Structure 1
């Protein structure tokens, strides 16, 4: 689905735009996804794992644009994509009321409010499209993200124990969170 472009000013006076992804974004999205995966252990993948090439991103953007249950947003600064988010729905009747949310932002741009605005835009989209529930997963050590999600009405619905093995050789829990629209 397509969302209108919006301008935001983050901390430090940095201006950025959030808009729907378009096919011309595919190459950059392929590149920054690999970079983001290598910058943090908060993601499910290590850098280069489950690589999505430019053509596959083009197809994903096309499918998301045509679907009323999916939303693919990008955040850009000076016309350069620095992060993105997706809401992925399901057309099975028993699950058509919900979407799964995920967000990725280049480390250099953390703390500017980009993740907050991607989340707000996704929540607004979901509520305007009769989506009753948003779900997500977050690594237990990502306390800042857990706090942000709670601030916007997400509740902890469960914990997947020893779910991820990180580079320090230790297992970490994954928190499952959900937000039900009123």
Structure 2
């Protein structure tokens, strides 16, 4: 397995990864079948992300399959260019193997080179596996987004978490 920055030609594989995650996990914001995007639109999105200095998308490449990703969305405004929001996803059958941790560490290494010193994320309050990973990587809960997600007709809280990186 290789952790690397996404390429435009990964658009189809990345879209397939995201659609599989939508089907597998209730912790993804998209519901199954709700991701309406073509491969060409996905390619344009990748091009847009890669064009920004403080944003990127790293993937876990397992042969001819992408099995996980982490997005880093930074900002060029001077007052907040030191922070970025991250989103992580790993296919169910590859969870528990350290891939999420490897993606997080690779994202931190990339971010430091860009002058990013703070990562922020949100996680559903009942996502125990993600909370365990984030707490092991020194993320702290800064707040609660109360009733921020509707999941199976129930409202769910999210934790807002952050970490200072070096």
TM-score, L = length of structure 1: 0.85
1:94-113 CA distance string (max 9 Å, x none): 32111110011211111121
Q: Could you tell me which residue of structure 1 aligns to residue 94 of structure 2?
A: 109
Q: Could you tell me which residue of structure 2 aligns to residue 32 of structure 1?
A: 17
CA distance in 2, matches of 1:134, 1:165: 25
Q: Could you tell me which residue of structure 2 aligns to residue 21 of structure 1?
A: 6
Q: Could you tell me which residue of structure 2 aligns to residue 94 of structure 1?
A: 79
1:156 partnered with 2:141: yes
CA distance in 2, matches of 1:50, 1:161: 25
CA distance in 1, matches of 2:165, 2:158: 23
* SS of 2:78 mapped into structure 1: coil
**Does the 8 A contact of 2:144 with 2:158 survive in 1?**
yes
Q: Could you tell me which residue of structure 1 aligns to residue 154 of structure 2?
A: 170
* SS of 1:68 mapped into structure 2: coil
Q: Could you tell me which residue of structure 2 aligns to residue 179 of structure 1?
A: 163
Q: Could you tell me which residue of structure 2 aligns to residue 125 of structure 1?
A: 110
Q: Could you tell me which residue of structure 1 aligns to residue 129 of structure 2?
A: 144
CA distance in 1, matches of 2:87, 2:37: 16
CA distance in 2, matches of 1:181, 1:32: 28
Consecutive unaligned residues of structure 2, counting only runs of 5 or more, are: none
* SS of 1:147 mapped into structure 2: helix
Cα RMSD (Å):
1.5
CA distance in 2, matches of 1:49, 1:37: 8
Alpha-carbon distance, 1:29 to partner = 1.2
TM-score, L = length of structure 2: 0.92
Consecutive unaligned residues of structure 1, counting only runs of 5 or more, are: 1-15
* SS of 1:28 mapped into structure 2: helix
**Does the 8 A contact of 2:144 with 2:160 survive in 1?**
yes
Aligned pairs, number: 166
Alpha-carbon distance, 1:75 to partner = 0.7
Q: Could you tell me which residue of structure 2 aligns to residue 77 of structure 1?
A: 62
